[in-house]
Structure 1
């Protein structure tokens, strides 16, 4: 059984709010890398980047982070070379923060390169962390049981988040 947690409109509002929070954090900067964890995290990163481009004059650079979510310790690749984000501001984006494994391994990847400021953003924070990682920007904090599964569906005009 699916239980809708966020509708398309609610996702749009949360994306816009996160974009404004990011803008407030980086308002004095001219460039910002938005790095999204592949698939839904990258889609969410693109949505945030699009909002940022409408509300600010910060140059947005989008980056896709490829990580094996079943084996996050395997090598991580990005759509940008490390010199393209070195010494810049970066926001790492994922759709759902569950145990924190994906996010912490992705953070570890970016720690090998000097960055000016480094923040994290998620649409849903499930509060089941096994790792000491937090989201600086989050759309919704959700207390769920470990048996429940949060799924984010991004479609052109019908995005939604459900719990099953």
Structure 2
């Protein structure tokens, strides 16, 4: 099996910076936003997005970690902050790759239990293989792949996105 690099570390940094500007533009009238990353890689991307948003704006960004069993996502969503932290706030849910949409849809359902000011999603790679009606509001790259190919996002030691 061959591996092809889709995005280099520099490419990823550029995509994250662009998404940060989009998040700021969508929240220009807000004083704060919540960025919630799906653990593990979505949370790593959320940390980078938080740093980028803080560099390009005056928004106060609260980071939270969302943990979900990706093999059995029904009822297994845990967030490391209380509902009061994100209630009536603008929330951005982050994951590294949007595949079928199942992880995002179950994570979204968790946040919809309380009133929100605004809810958006952000992914580094949108694979266009959705079986659920979920979309990425902010995305680094859209990638048409075969269902047999695997997109791998690596954050360390060097950031990259590969197609295997």
TM over 0.5: yes
Residue aligning to 2:99: 98
How far is 1:28 from its partner? Answer: 1.1
Query: Take 2:147 and 2:74, find their aligned partners in 1: how far apart are those partners?
Result: 22
Give, in whole Å, the separation in 2 of the partners of 1:6 and 1:71. Answer: 30
Residues of 2 paired with 1:155 and 1:96: CA distance?
A: 16
- 2:141 corresponds in structure 1 to 140
Instruction: Count how many residue pairs are aligned between Structure 1 and Structure 2.
Output: 163
- Listed as ranges, the gaps of 5+ residues in structure 1 are none
Q: CA RMSD in A?
A: 0.7
Normalised TM-score (structure 1):
0.98
Name the SS of the counterpart of 2:156 in structure 1: coil
Displaced runs of 4+ in structure 1, greater than 3 A?
A: none
Kindly report which structure 2 residues correspond to 1:106-125, keeping only aligned pairs within 5 A, or say none.
106-125=107-126
Q: Can you list the C-alpha shifts for 1:86-123, whole angstroms capped at 9, x where unaligned?
A: 11110000000000000000000100011000000000
Residue matched to 1:155: 156
TM-score normalised over the length of structure 2: 0.98
Q: Which runs of 5+ in 2 are unaligned?
A: none
